[in-house]
Structure 1
Amino acid sequence: MNALLRTVLNHLIKTGDLTVTDAEGVKHRFGDKTGDPRHIHIKTRRAERAIAINPELKLAEAYMAGDLDFLEGDMYGLLQLVFENAGPIAAKEPWMRAIDGARRAGRRLQQINTIARASWHVRHHYDLSGDLYRLFLDPDMQYSCAYFETPKATLAEAQLAKKRHIAAKLLVKPGHRLLDIGCGWGGLGLYMAKYLKADVTGVTLSEEQHAVANERATEEGLSSTARFNLQDYRSLQEPFDRIVSVGMFEHVGVNHFAEYFQHTARLLKRDGVFLLHAIGRSDGPGATNPFIRKYIFPGGYIPALSEVLPHIERAGLVVTDIEILRLHYAETLKAWREAFMANRDIAKSIYDERFCRMWEFYLAASESAFRWQNMMVFQIQIAHRQDAVPLTRNYIEAEEKRLKRLDSAPRGANTEMPVRSRGATGK
């Protein structure tokens, strides 16, 4: 085995049971032999050396290329073993810290998301076959963190609860003009139009999502109140009563945070409410994981709150509420990973084995980051005025209960109850 790799594994794996068969066929065992065994075979010396020097990228690439295989366990189990030994913030060897430093220094060059480049970056991921996403997403095609009200909630139930939770924070009233920045396949916007009677404009840079969202609006008879445009939010001019953005801010990039909030401030009416739902870092600013940047989300970046809040302030906006969703995305990703693996043969027929290994690593690593490392989801409620929302948060639960009566009712049933005015004081 490569000497550097053996040193790294000896330092890192103190508990658990990891066996590595090296390129020469020799077995090496690490840990205290407790827990479920994991056994990997690294087939080439080149792969051993690459993984030792740059594990965040080269472990995935070796697996994608077939230079690493599992004799016992799977990728998720291996990552669990590594992260549970490393702790919340993984200790890194000096050369790994140097690589991280170089990534941080160069991150602004990697996140130039002009309108033209942003469109290409989005198409790279979201214009994959819709049949692929249908293999693991819920029926509404929600490709963002769900909201698990109970541990036993299904993925579909949790995604519906997420839409209720967001809608409740937005205080949407019938006829409100609502902008959905990064509207995905249209599920959230259609929910707002159907149950809250909002006039919805959704924007996306994905041609696949644009087509599906409008097709769904037509099928549900909502095309007059829910329109989805193939458009960059920066080209919009008209004002909106409500703005929502779910899972899009991660694609903005540090270079464009100021621009993002300046535009949303301009688009939001003076008495409006904006709800931003995005992935964040709990340990401060960093750099995009090299595997994610190269293969999954080019141009993307997960920000720390300390990087986001100053730009909200400078745009003249007021933060009226912040909520941190901790393990909700770990549970969401678990459901996606299990569904993807159950349908792996179908995914392989759409793409190929290398693609399936890439996505297996993506889903396993992402879940691991939320479960054992530094990733979380934040929801920031934003306004121009301090009195744009009620004084206490009680209105959120009350509105969720009202919406649950509506979206859970049998088709054709009238369960709407008279709603008291939800003015700024909440009285």
Structure 2
Amino acid sequence: MYPLLAFYCRRLFRRGRLEVRTADGTVHRFGDGGQPAVAVRLASHQAERAIAHDPALALGECYMNGELELAEGSIMDLVRLACENAGVHATSELWMRLIVRARGLVRRFRQNNVPTRSRRNVQHHYDLSRELYALFLDPDLQYSCAYFEHPQQSLAEAQLAKKRHIAAKLNLDREGLDVLDIGSGWGGLGLYLARTAGARVTGVTLSDEQLALSRERVEADGLASRVNFRLQDYRHITETFDRIVSVGMFEHVGREFYAAFFGRAAELLRPEGVMLLHTIGRSTEPADTNAFIQRHIFPGGYTPSLSEMLPAIERAGLIVTDVEVLRLHYAETCRLWREAFIARREAALSLHDERFCRMWEFYLAIAEAGFRWQGLVVFQIQLARRTEALPITRDYMAQNEARLRDREAATDDGRLRPALEAAG
């Protein structure tokens, strides 16, 4: 075994059991022999060197390219074993910290998310076919953290609860409020706000696939007079709104553009307006994006700490009126996505090749691991321009949720219609 890889494995794997068969057929064992137990085969000495020099990137790439095979356990078991041994500080080794620091030096370039580059980054991930996402998402194609009200809740129910929870925080206290949805996805949240909360919704996305399906759903639901989805960058919006919501989009803004994002939000929000930002974040100090995610899944993405967002919010003149930290909700969401994808892997292979499917498996595994063991969370940050824009206690949120739950039955939102079926 390549000496640096052997050194790293001895240092990292103290609990559980890792068995590595190298290209020359030699078997190396690490850990205390307990659980979890994982056995892998490395196809070449080049794979050994790559993983040793840059494990955050090369482990996933070797699995994706078939240079790392699992003889015992799954790729999720391997990720779990590594994370449970490393703890939150996965980059404790000096050379790994140096790699992370070097990546940080070029972060400004990688996250230079001007409008043209932002659109290209979004297309890289979100313009994959809707049929792929339908394999593992809930029927409404919600591609963000669900809100689990109890452990037995299904993914579809938890995604409906997420929409209800967000709508309650927006405090849509009268019919016909103008709502801007920045990063509107496949349209599910915007349609919910129009159908159930009585809002007039403008949704913007940079994905052609998402826009096409969102518009089909608007027509299928007969909501063209209340919902308008369009292909537009948030920086180019000119209207003002009573409410702004952004779910799962802020991760694509890039650290260098936080001032522009919150400054534009403040300009678009009417004086008595309310904004709800739902974003992946870190409970730890700031750190660079996982290298595999950055290169293969979400180019240009960045996951912020609260300490990075709050200065930009304050400078924009916005007031933080509420912060909720969803801790394990996204871990459970990713687990259900991963299990659904694996269960329908043959269907995924009919859409993409084996390399893609391995990439997607690894992505969903490390995403779950990030929220379960590596300090990732979801922040829901409520913002306003005026202190008196919202009631002075949080009771209104629960009251709004109860009211919305009653309305769901009347508007048929509780039926959880599949997005593809609703679009005809």
> Which category describes the TM-score, using the shorter chain as reference length?
over 0.9
Q: Which residue of 2 aligns with 1:180?
A: 181
Q: Which residue of 2 aligns with 1:143?
A: 143
Q: Deviations over 1:298-342 (max 9, x none)?
A: 111101110000000000110000000000000000000000000
> Structure 1 counterpart of 2:317, which letter?
G
Q: Which residue of 2 aligns with 1:236?
A: 237
1:359/1:148 CA distance change after superposition, 3 Å: same
> How many angstroms does 1:410 deviate by?
8.1
The answer to whether residue 227 in structure 2 is matched with residue 226 in structure 1 is yes
1:108/1:45 CA distance change after superposition, 3 Å: same
Q: What RMSD over aligned residues (CA atoms) do the two structures have, in Å?
A: 1.2
Q: Deviations over 1:134-159 (max 9, x none)?
A: 00000000000000000000000000
Q: Deviations over 1:43-82 (max 9, x none)?
A: 1000001101100000011111111000000111011111
Distance between the aligned counterparts of 2:412 and 2:4, measured in 1?
63
Q: Which residue of 2 aligns with 1:318?
A: 319
User: How high is the sequence identity, in percent, across the aligned residues?
Assistant: 56
Q: Deviations over 1:358-394 (max 9, x none)?
A: 0000000000010011210000000000111111111
> Structure 2 counterpart of 1:24, which letter?
D
Higher relative contact order (CA 8 A, sep 6+): 2
On the 8 A contact 1:241/1:271 being kept in 2, the answer is: yes
Secondary structure, aligned partner of 1:38: strand
Q: Which residue of 2 aligns with 1:303?
A: 304
The answer to whether residue 267 in structure 2 is matched with residue 266 in structure 1 is yes
> How many angstroms does 1:293 deviate by?
1.0
Structure 1 unpaired stretches of 5+: 414-427
> Structure 1 counterpart of 2:333, which letter?
T
Q: Deviations over 1:100-138 (max 9, x none)?
A: 111112211110111111111100000001100000000
Q: Deviations over 1:160-214 (max 9, x none)?
A: 0000000000011211000000000000000000011100000000000001001
Q: Please show how residues 24-423 of structure 1 align to structure 2 within 5 Å.
A: 24-172=24-172, 173-409=174-410, 411=412
On the 8 A contact 1:51/1:59 being kept in 2, the answer is: yes
On the 8 A contact 1:184/1:209 being kept in 2, the answer is: yes
On the 8 A contact 2:192/2:413 being kept in 1, the answer is: no
Secondary structure, aligned partner of 1:162: helix
1:21/1:271 CA distance change after superposition, 3 Å: same
> Structure 2 counterpart of 1:351, which letter?
H
**TM-score normalised per structure 2:** 0.96
Distance between the aligned counterparts of 1:397 and 1:225, measured in 2?
26
On the 8 A contact 1:245/1:275 being kept in 2, the answer is: yes
On the 8 A contact 2:91/2:97 being kept in 1, the answer is: no
1:300/1:136 CA distance change after superposition, 3 Å: same
On the 8 A contact 2:36/2:81 being kept in 1, the answer is: no
Q: Deviations over 1:11-34 (max 9, x none)?
A: 111110111111111111111111
> How many angstroms does 1:408 deviate by?
3.7
1:33/1:174 CA distance change after superposition, 3 Å: same
1:196/1:100 CA distance change after superposition, 3 Å: same
Runs of 4+ in 1 over 6 A off after TM superposition: none
**TM-score normalised per structure 1:** 0.95
Q: Which residue of 2 aligns with 1:421?
A: none
Equivalent pairs counted in the alignment come to: 413
Distance between the aligned counterparts of 1:91 and 1:339, measured in 2?
30
On the 8 A contact 1:89/1:374 being kept in 2, the answer is: no
On the 8 A contact 2:196/2:413 being kept in 1, the answer is: no
Distance between the aligned counterparts of 1:53 and 1:36, measured in 2?
25
On the 8 A contact 1:243/1:268 being kept in 2, the answer is: yes
> How many angstroms does 1:92 deviate by?
2.5
Distance between the aligned counterparts of 2:282 and 2:357, measured in 1?
27
> How many angstroms does 1:89 deviate by?
1.8
